[in-house]
Amino acid sequence: VFRSLPVCRTRGAVILRSFIGWNRDAAAWLERRYPGIFGAPSYKAELEGRIVDDIARLKPSAILEVGGIDRPLLERSTSFTYIGLDIEEKPDCYRIYDQFVVQSIEQPVDVEADMLISITLMEHVPDNKAAARSMFLALRPGGVMHHYIPSKWHPYSMALRIVGPVMQKWLIPYLRPSAVGVTGYPAFFDHCSPSDMAKLFRSQGFEQVDVMSFYRASDYFAFFLPAYVSVALFENLCAMLNWRIFCSGFVISATKPRNS
């Protein structure tokens, strides 16, 4: 009996992967067939566009990327010093960036930058008030920052907090195998809604705070087609009614005053 347990587990894993694969294929077909309902506008393209535009406009001498680890948004350039910051390090970090700092963004950073950027970072920070203050101090007067932040009230974000990081790491290889090693970190979603984060940045002294909401993250539910369809329809309703509280995430930019 005990010898058959590993065989049963293996068969169960094969069946589960087959079931999830069928659901993901069906969800992908719906997205191709009805992109207006199931397709997702690219928040990354919006974020990168803002960064590129400000690099051309401001010609920063130093750019600080927070939470990029070994998957940076930019490439090294002779026109600016590229500084990376994360709570952990990997060997490639010292090749990818001109300078790499190992610490939490919640603590003061001993660097000065003209631009600060991040993507899917701030939902993992326990105290974003401290993080926003540290960012303000790290930027030179007139400096800008651009972030993409998943929003805390989207169904995926709520499910993530319910499941927790331990169960999440166990589920990822089955539900989202392409995300293995990339996601699964503890998520706190402190101030992670468009209105709360904008208020937080303004309270720390930032101005020209600009927020753009995105509503499509139903692909997180593609492992089960009924959930995928239900979430996609809910997202479309929220987008139509401009219910930003339920957006999937948002790109937010802010500027440090020149006289600060």
Contact 58, 116 (CB under 8 A): no
DSSP-derived letter for residue 138 is H
Instruction: Tell me the HSE value of 161 on the side-chain side, using a 13 A CA sphere.
Output: 14
Q: What is the pLDDT of residues 143-156, one digit of tens each?
A: 999 999 999 999 99
Contact 73, 48 (CB under 8 A): yes
Which of 56, 63, 50, 136 shows the shortest CA–CA distance to 98? 63
DSSP 190-214: TT-SHHHHHHHHHHTT-EEEEEEEE
Residues listed for the chain:
260
Q: In what order do the strands lie in the sheet with 139-150?
A: 99-102, 81-86, 62-66, 113-119, 139-150, 249-255, 207-214
Which domains, ranges and CATH numbers included, belong to the chain? 4-255 (3.40.50.150)
Q: What is the pLDDT of residue 118?
A: 98
pLDDT in tens for each of the 260 residues of the chain? 444 545 556 777 778 888 888 999 999 999 999 999 999 889 999 999 999 999 999 999 999 999 999 999 999 999 999 999 999 999 999 999 999 999 999 999 999 999 999 999 999 999 999 999 999 999 999 999 999 999 999 999 998 888 776 667 666 666 666 655 556 578 999 999 999 999 999 999 999 999 999 999 888 899 899 999 999 999 999 999 999 999 999 999 999 999 98
Q: What is the pLDDT of residue 162?
A: 83
Beta bridge partner(s), residue 99: 83
Q: What is the pLDDT of residues 62-116, one digit of tens each?
A: 999 999 999 999 999 999 999 999 999 999 999 999 999 999 999 999 999 999 9
Give Cβ neighbours of residue 59 (< 8 Å, ≥ 6 apart).
79
What are the φ/ψ torsions at residue 55 (nearest 5 degrees)? Answer: -65, -45
- pTM greater than the 0.95 cutoff: no
What are the φ/ψ torsions at residue 210 (nearest 5 degrees)? Answer: -125, 125
